[in-house]
Structure 1
Amino acid sequence: MRIRYVSAAAAVLSTAAIVLTTPGVAGAAATADVVPGRARVKVTVHGVPVHPESCRVDPDADGDTQSLPLEPSGTMVAHNVAPGPRRVVVWCPDGGVIYQNVVHVLPADPVADVVDTVFRTAGSSDRVTDPTLR
């Protein structure tokens, strides 16, 4: 009889430990990772309570204001962003503004982009120099 109680207690404790240590999406605050590159800005959202494609990104909130949707994967790359400091704003329904900060976009470099594309195609992503292409 004691073995049953010990087994039941162990099951309850292990379940509680799993529930307490597993990160949940419902209680997590929405966040965004923003990575500047060469004439590009890569945005990835996490913990969004709705579909990520309903979120919008403004890669140049102080200049050429746009409202670009994210992909269903929660990631998007905004192209043709002017070089220099750019204020990026990411907002989602039911989450409001989840990111607002200035990033420094590098000037375009078509030759480096071709080299990076060759590295990516060859499977050498660790050699890609533009972080938005990784």
Structure 2
Amino acid sequence: MEGGITLQLDKRSRKPLYEQVVYGIKQDIMLGILEVNEKLPSVRELASQLLINPNTISKAYKQLESEGIIMTIRGKGTFVAEQVNTARDERKVQAIKEKLIELVVEANYQQVGEGELLAWIKEAVKSNGGMKNES
């Protein structure tokens, strides 16, 4: 695929397709598969490659653009934006925290211990190229 996008969609997932596209592009950037200023496929190209509606890609691109992850230059295309250190969005941080709490509760009911869960988190961080912001 142009732009080196490696994302895979699970059409049976409960997660909406546009969210899967957003996540996949963010992950490819985090892993260094997509680099700053790299051109992404057009909405139509990516929709055709993934066999989904162009409106789905358009919605994902709009979300990524609103987050400053990608930028569109009229007449030239869509590119990976330079990631500048912006202030944390505390609403999004809270949403992440809530997802983590849900994960902990579910893990507890599946007999997953704290050590195992922490090991999974460390492995997820490692396999995704590490965290950019250590605190």
Q: Normalised by the size of structure 1, how large is the TM-score?
A: 0.27
Choose between structure 1 and 2: higher strand proportion.
1
Which has the larger share of helix? 2
- State the TM-score, normalizing by the size of structure 2: 0.27
